[in-house]
Amino acid sequence: MENGSSGSALLEVIGLEVVYHRAVTAVQGVSLTAEERSITALVGTNGAGKSTTLAAIAGFMRAEDVRITEGDVLFDGASIKGRRNDQISAMGIGYVPEREKIFPTLSVLENLTACRPRSGSDRAMSIEQVYDLFPRLAERPNTIAGYLSGGERQMLAISMALLGGPRLLLIDEMTLGLAPIVVESLVETVTRLRDEHNVTILVVEQNASTGIEMADYIYVMENGRIAFDGPPDRLLQHEDFQEFYLGMEREGGRKHYQDVKQYRRKRRWFG
């Protein structure tokens, strides 16, 4: 086994194809695996199809005309393709979307209370448990969520997804736009979720070095496809990953943004 730590796939995406408006194929034959109790990162540039992939897994496709046209999604060995997001959520998959993930006019505590599961699953987390994971939220239960900082909103959104006790947590753009110290704290928390709460995590991450830091396994997406994948140590040796995702210094000096654009163009045409 190469991905993750325990050797059994909790999530298997097989040859997934997703089409918007019967015209735009945003995801083209994507296959990926999230091993139980691992952190898997989906890295890639804007428009690569990361959010579409995550939303398709969660059954949460907001656009009125979007369809899974090929492939399958297996959760714990059973197909969940085509199920509604509430059914998927009840099966043990939590989803933190890219945008609109909290109720901005409600307080922190009201947001959490609204997400408490009706019937108690034995994995369900209490509000005290999420406060323990995110002490910043515990300090401001009565703050109106719309006034929280970006990092605090993300903490609240993750907490809301955790209350149902998910076995698999999907987080879109966990760290986008957040200060390095907040990124560190979120990385620490997802690591605790994996290690102490047995949660399997699939996270979309635009910052490749954050992906390297936190993930057990990484998939790099370009133009609707997985371009390459591997554990962090292997990707660190991958030339394209070094040059275009980490922007490392090489003998010719740091790669220019123009070169990166050139590279993306090249991959779009010939990739």
Ligand X SMILES: Nc1ncnc2c1ncn2[C@@H]1O[C@H](COP(=O)(O)OP(=O)(O)OP(=O)(O)O)[C@@H](O)[C@H]1O
Q: What span, in angstroms and rounded, lies between the C-alpha atoms of 85 and 94?
A: 10
Distance CA(11)–CA(32), nearest Å, equals 8
Distance CA 86, CA 180 (A): 34
Name which of residues 84 to 103 contact Mg ion (CB under 5 A): 98
Interface residues toward ligand X, by CB under 6 A = 20-21, 24, 26, 44, 46-52, 63, 98, 206
Which regions of the chain does DSSP assign to beta strands (E)?
Answer: 9-20, 24-35, 39-44, 66-75, 78-79, 93-96, 168-171, 200-205, 217-222, 225-230
Work out what residue 9 binds among ligand X, Mg ion, none; the CB cut-off runs from 5 to 8 Å by kind.
none
What is the bridge-based pairing of β-strands 168-171 and 200-205?
parallel
Of the pair 52, 111, the CB lying nearest Mg ion is at: 52
Separation between Cα atoms, residue 33 and residue 74, nearest integer Å: 9
- Residue positions counted in the chain: 271
Helix (H, G, I), strand (E, B) or coil at 185: helix
- Closer CB to Mg ion, residue 98 or residue 240? 98
Least CB distance to ligand X at residue 236 (A): 22
Integer Cα distance of 220 and 32 in angstroms: 11
Least separation in angstroms between CB 160 and Mg ion: 19
Partner from ligand X, Mg ion, none contacting 48, C-beta within 5 to 8 A by type: ligand X
Answer with the entry of Mg ion, ligand X, none that 207 interacts with (C-beta below 5 to 8 A by kind). none
Q: Which is nearer to ligand X, 65 or 195 (CB)?
A: 65
63 binds, among ligand X, Mg ion, none (CB under 5 to 8 A by kind): ligand X
Min CB(48)–ligand X separation in Å: 4
In the complex with Mg ion, the residue whose CB is nearer, 206 or 255, is 206
20 binds, among Mg ion, ligand X, none (CB under 5 to 8 A by kind): ligand X
- Taking CA atoms, 174 is separated from 43, 74, 99, 155, in Å, by 11, 23, 11, 9
Closer residue to Mg ion, CB minimum distance, 19 or 108: 19
Binds Mg ion by CB under 5 A, chosen from 51, 89, 159, 200: 51
Q: How far apart are CA 258 and CA 264, in angstroms?
A: 10
Closer CB to ligand X, 108 or 158, in the complex: 158
Contact residues for Mg ion, defined by CB under 5 A: 51, 98
